[in-house]
Chains A and B, each alone.
Chain A
Amino acid sequence: MRMGEGYKLIRNDWVGFLGLCLFLCFLGISVLGLLLTRGSEPILDPKKVRLHEKLKPPMCKASPETIANEKLPFGRFLLGTDDLGRDVFARMLQGAYVSMSVGFVSVGISVLIGVIIGGISGYYGDRNIGLITFLSLLLLIAGIILIISSNRSLGLLLSCLGVISLLLKKTRFLKQMDRQFIDVDSFIMRIVDIMLCFPSFFLILTVVVVLPPSIYNIMIVIGVTSWMGTARFVRAEFLALRELDFVKAAKLLGLSDMKIIFVHMLPNAIGPVLVSATLGVASAILVEAGLSFLGLGVPPPHATWGNILSDGKNYLFDAPWLTFIPGFTIMLVVLSFNLFGEALRDMVNPKLKS
C-alpha cells in the first residue's frame, strides 16, 4: 500500500479522518506530556503538592505566590487541581504517556503472539501430533509456566524432561508409542479455549498481585492475556485462505512456507486483525485505567488516567472535574481508536483503491 492512496481514501471518509486526527493528536500529546513532565525539575510538575490550592476548578487563576514560584500556562490551572493541590493538567499529561504506551506495547505483544499462534494453527492445522510429542509439549509448557512463577527448580526439571523426550521420540521404542493423537489445530485451539475460560480481568489482577508493580509488568501481562481473539481471527482467515487458488499457485511456484504465510496470506488476513488491534488498544487503556482505579496499576506518585479517576471519586460532588476529565479523555481516545480502526480496515483493502 502506498501512502498517497491511503491518504486519499481516508480523506473521503470523514469519520475515519476525524479518528485519525484525534489519534495523532493524542499521540502528540502523550509525547509532549513525557517531555514536559519528566526529570527532577519538570516544566509542569505533576507531583508538586500545594495544600492551599486544593480542589480548584478548571481555568481557575492560581494565587499570586504560586505564579511567582512556578511557571503555569497563562497563570491558571487549566484543568483545576486535586485534593492535594496537584495540577490536574500536568497529571493528565504525565498519564497520557503511560496510557498510550500501555495500549500500544500490550497490543503489540498480543497481536504478535496471536498472529504466530493463529497462523500455525490455521496453516499447519491438520498435521498430527503424536502422543509422546503431545505429552512432552505439555511438560515443556508446564515447566515454562513454573519457571515464570518463580518455582525455578521444578520448572527446569519439567522443561528438561520435555526437551529430552522430544529429542528421544525418534528412537524405535518411543516411535511405536508416538501414534497420531491430536492435530495441531485442535491442540492450539483447546489451549486458546482454556485461556478464554479465565475471566481475563481477574487473571490480570492475580498476576499483577503476584508480580512487583511496574508499568512494564502491566504491559506484558495485558499482552499475554489478550492474544486469544487475534489468534482465532487469524486462524479462521488462514483456514479459508489456505484452500484458495493463489496459495496453491504460490506453492506451485516453489515458495517456502514462511514466504506463503507472511507475504501471501498474512496481508489478506490483516484487515480484521488491525481492527481488533485498534479495539485492543482501547480496551488495554481501559484495563490499565481499571487496574489503577483499583490501586493495582502503576505505583502512586506517578499519575495515570486511571488513578486520577480513582482519586477523584471521593470528591465526585465537590469536584466533579476530577472524574469527568480523565473519564472523557479515556472515552475520546477509545472512540478515536475505534473510528480509525474502521477506516484502517478499508485502507488495507486494495479493491477500494481506484
Chain B
Amino acid sequence: MEGLLKIKGLNIGLRGQDLGERPSIVQDLHLEISKAESVCLVGESGCGKSITALSIMGLLPKGLRIWSGKILFEGMDLLRLNEKELRRIRGSEISMIFQEPMSSLNPVLTIGQQLREVFLAHLKGEEPVHKKEIEDRCVSLLRDVGLPHPKDQLRAYPHMLSGGQRQRVMIAMAMALNPKLIIADEPTTALDVTVQLQILRLLKGLQEGRECSLLFITHDLSLVPNVGDRVYVMYKGRIMEEGPSREVVSSPLHPYTKALLSAIVDPESPKGIKAKALRTKDNRSNSVLVDKNAKGKGQGCRYASTCPSVEARCRELEPGLMVANDRKVRCWLHVC
C-alpha cells in the first residue's frame, strides 16, 4: 500500500527544556498511515496521543516544541511549510474531529453558516461557486452523516442539537472537502455508549466510502478492532507496541498492552466486572511530566516502574523496537 502520512523520529519537548535531556512529551515516534487505511493510536491520557495529532496539524500548544523529526504528508514535510501553506492543507487535505462536540461548534452561528465557512475558505481561488451550490452540498453532507431533516438543521444553532448530532455535524465539517486524512481525537469519549457505536460506524462507513485514511485516537482498546486496521500503543511518549489491530488485541505482546486490555470492562464475562484498574505506583505517575524514573537515571524502560514482569535490565536500558513479521514491540521479554 502507498504511504500517505509518515512520521519519522518525531521528538517533542517542552520549550524550556535542556537539549541534553530526553524529550519528555513524545520521543522518537515513527508512525505510518497508508492510503485508505485506518490506524488507531491508543494510550492512557497524558501519553502524547493528542500532541502527536496536533503536531501533524501544526497547531502545537505554545509551551511545546518539536525538536527533531519529519512529518511527511504525500512526501512533503509539514514541519517545513509556512503558515499559509499549512492553512491550505488544513481542512481540505487533513482535517480533525475533536473530543468535545459540545464546545467545538460556535454557539452564535448556525450549522449552515459554519459549514459554509469551510467551503468558502477553501474554494476561493478556484471557479466561482454559487450560493445555491454550496447550500446543496451542505444539505447532502448533513444527509450523509445521517442527520434527519438536513435542510432545517442548516438553520439550527448548535445548542439545539444533541451531543451525538453535534458530533455528526463536526464529522460533516471534517468531511466537507473530501480530505485525504482525517484525524479523530477521541471522537466518542464525550458521548453516550449507544451513540458512541453509531458515530463509530458512521465514521468507519464514511472513511471506507470515500477512501480516505483515518487516524483514530482513543484510550479505549475495545474500540480498536472495530475501527482500525493497525494499532499503535503509546505510553509516556513512546510507541510500545505496533501491529494489526486484531492480533494486538487478541494476543498482546507488551505487558502494558495486556494491562490496558485487562482494564476493559466486559459485562458478558463474570470476571469482567472486576476489571483491574491500570496499575500505577501513585496517582501522579501516569503523568509524563512527573516521571521521576525518566528524569533521574533517564535510561530505563518507561514502563519499568509499574510493569508486573519487570527485570533488572529494564531499569538499566530501554529496549528498542523488536520487529517480528508485521508486529513490533518495545520490551525485553521479546528479545531473542
Contact residues, B65-124 vs A (CB, 8 A): 87-92, 95-96, 98, 100, 103-109, 117-118, 121-122
**CB-CB < 8 A to A246: which residues of B?**
103-107
One of A68-76, A113-121, A260-268 contacting the partner: A260-268
**CB-CB < 8 A to B142: which residues of A?**
none
A255–B116 CA distance with the chains assembled, in angstroms: 11
Contact residues, B30-74 vs A (CB, 8 A): 57, 59, 62
Whether A318 is near chain B, meaning CB under 8 Å from some CB there, is no
Would A254 and B108 be within 8 Å (CB), given that A246-B103, A353-B157 are in contact? no
A259–B124 CA distance with the chains assembled, in angstroms: 13
Whether A252 is near chain B, meaning CB under 8 Å from some CB there, is yes
State the Cβ distance, B137 to closest chain A Cβ, in Å. Answer: 15
Cross-chain contact A254 with B87 (CB below 8 angstroms): yes
Whether A28 is near chain B, meaning CB under 8 Å from some CB there, is no
A245–B98 CA distance with the chains assembled, in angstroms: 8
Cross-chain contact A255 with B159 (CB below 8 angstroms): no
A156–B188 CA distance with the chains assembled, in angstroms: 61
Cross-chain contact B118 with A252 (CB below 8 angstroms): no
A134–B62 CA distance with the chains assembled, in angstroms: 22
Would A253 and B159 be within 8 Å (CB), given that A245-B103, A246-B106, A268-B106 are in contact? no
Give the B-binding residues of A (Cβ under 8 A).
126, 244-246, 248-256, 259, 263-264, 267-268, 348-351, 353
Contact among A252, A255, A267 with B109 in the assembled complex (CB-CB below 8 Å): A267
Question: Can you report 19 residue pairs joining A to B where beta carbons are below 8 Å apart?
Answer: A126-B62, A244-B103, A245-B104, A246-B107, A249-B96, A249-B98, A249-B173, A252-B57, A252-B91, A252-B96, A253-B117, A254-B89, A254-B92, A259-B117, A267-B106, A267-B108, A268-B107, A350-B157, A353-B157
**CB-CB < 8 A to A268: which residues of B?**
106-108
Whether B170 is near chain A, meaning CB under 8 Å from some CB there, is yes
Inter-chain CB contacts under 8 Å: number: 76
A252–B88 CA distance with the chains assembled, in angstroms: 10
Contact among B62, B107, B121 with A259 in the assembled complex (CB-CB below 8 Å): B121
Cross-chain contact A254 with B107 (CB below 8 angstroms): no
A2–B297 CA distance with the chains assembled, in angstroms: 64
State the Cβ distance, B94 to closest chain A Cβ, in Å. Answer: 9
**CB-CB < 8 A to B98: which residues of A?**
245, 248-249
Interface 0/1 of B148-178, CB less than 8 Å to A: 0000000001010000000000100110000
A349–B108 CA distance with the chains assembled, in angstroms: 7
A104–B69 CA distance with the chains assembled, in angstroms: 56
Instruction: List 4 other contacts, CB 8 Å, given A244-B103, A254-B118, A268-B106.
Output: A246-B107, A251-B90, A255-B91, A268-B107
**CB-CB < 8 A to A350: which residues of B?**
107-108, 157, 159
State the Cβ distance, B93 to closest chain A Cβ, in Å. Answer: 9
Contact among B104, B105, B121 with A254 in the assembled complex (CB-CB below 8 Å): B121
**CB-CB < 8 A to A253: which residues of B?**
90-91, 95, 117-118, 121, 173-174
